[in-house]
Structure 1
Amino acid sequence: MVGERIRSSIIEGALPPGSQLHEVELAASFGVSRGPVREALQRLIQEGLLRSEAHRGVFVPVMSDDDIVDIYVAREALETAAVRRITGTSRSASAYKSLDKVVRGMETAEKAGDWTSVASRDLDFHTALVAAAESTRLERMFTTVISETRLCLRVLTSAPDARDDLVQEHRDISEMIRADDTVGAIAVLTKHFDDAVVTLRSRLGAEAAG
Structure 2
Amino acid sequence: MTALSRSSSAALNPVPRESTPSMVASRIREAIALGEIAPGSQLGEVEYAARLGVSRGPLREGLQRLTQEGLLVAHPNRGLFVVEMTDERVRDLYLARSAIERAAGGRIHETTPAATSAALLEVVEEMARAAARQDVRDVSHADIHFHQVLVEHAESPHLSRIHATLMTETRMCIHLLEPTYAVDEARVGEHREIARSFADGDTRRTDALIVHHMRDALRRLTGSTTGAVTDAAGGPQPS
User: What TM-score results when the alignment is normalised by the length of structure 2?
Assistant: 0.79
- The one-character-per-residue Cα deviations of 1:115-165 (angstroms, maximum 9, x if unpaired) are 111111111111111111111111122122112111111222111348752
Aligned to 2:188: 167
> How far apart are residue 53 of structure 1 and its match?
2.4
Aligned to 1:18: 40
How many residue pairs end up in the alignment?
202
Distance in 2 separating the partners of 1:11 and 1:149:
8
* Matching residue within 157, 179, 183 for 1:158: 179
Aligned to 1:65: 87
Aligned to 1:41: 63
Q: Does 1:148 align with 2:169?
A: yes
Aligned to 2:211: 190
Distance in 1 separating the partners of 2:89 and 2:70:
11
Aligned to 2:6: none
Structure 2 unmatched runs, 5+: 1-22, 225-239
- The one-character-per-residue Cα deviations of 1:97-129 (angstroms, maximum 9, x if unpaired) are 221121111111111111111111111111111
Distance in 2 separating the partners of 1:154 and 1:184:
29
Q: Which AA in structure 2 matches 1:147? A: T
Aligned residues with identical type, % of pairs: 43
Q: Tell me how large the CA RMSD over aligned residues is.
A: 1.8
Q: In 1, are the aligned partners of 2:124 and 2:146 still within 8 Å (CA)? A: yes
Distance in 1 separating the partners of 2:92 and 2:133:
33
Q: 1:191 to 1:30 in 2, by over 3 A?
A: same
> How far apart are residue 2 of structure 1 and its match?
2.6
Distance in 1 separating the partners of 2:26 and 2:203:
36
> How far apart are residue 22 of structure 1 and its match?
1.1
Aligned to 1:104: 125
- The one-character-per-residue Cα deviations of 1:25-74 (angstroms, maximum 9, x if unpaired) are 21122221112211221222233332222332111111111111111011
Q: Which AA in structure 2 matches 1:10? A: I
Q: Does 1:116 align with 2:137?
A: yes
Q: 1:141 to 1:14 in 2, by over 3 A?
A: closer
Q: Which is richer in helix?
A: 1
User: What TM-score results when the alignment is normalised by the length of structure 1?
Assistant: 0.89
Distance in 2 separating the partners of 1:162 and 1:201:
19
Aligned to 1:81: 103
Aligned to 2:155: 134
**Structure number, greater radius of gyration:** 2
Q: In 2, are the aligned partners of 1:48 and 1:145 still within 8 Å (CA)? A: no
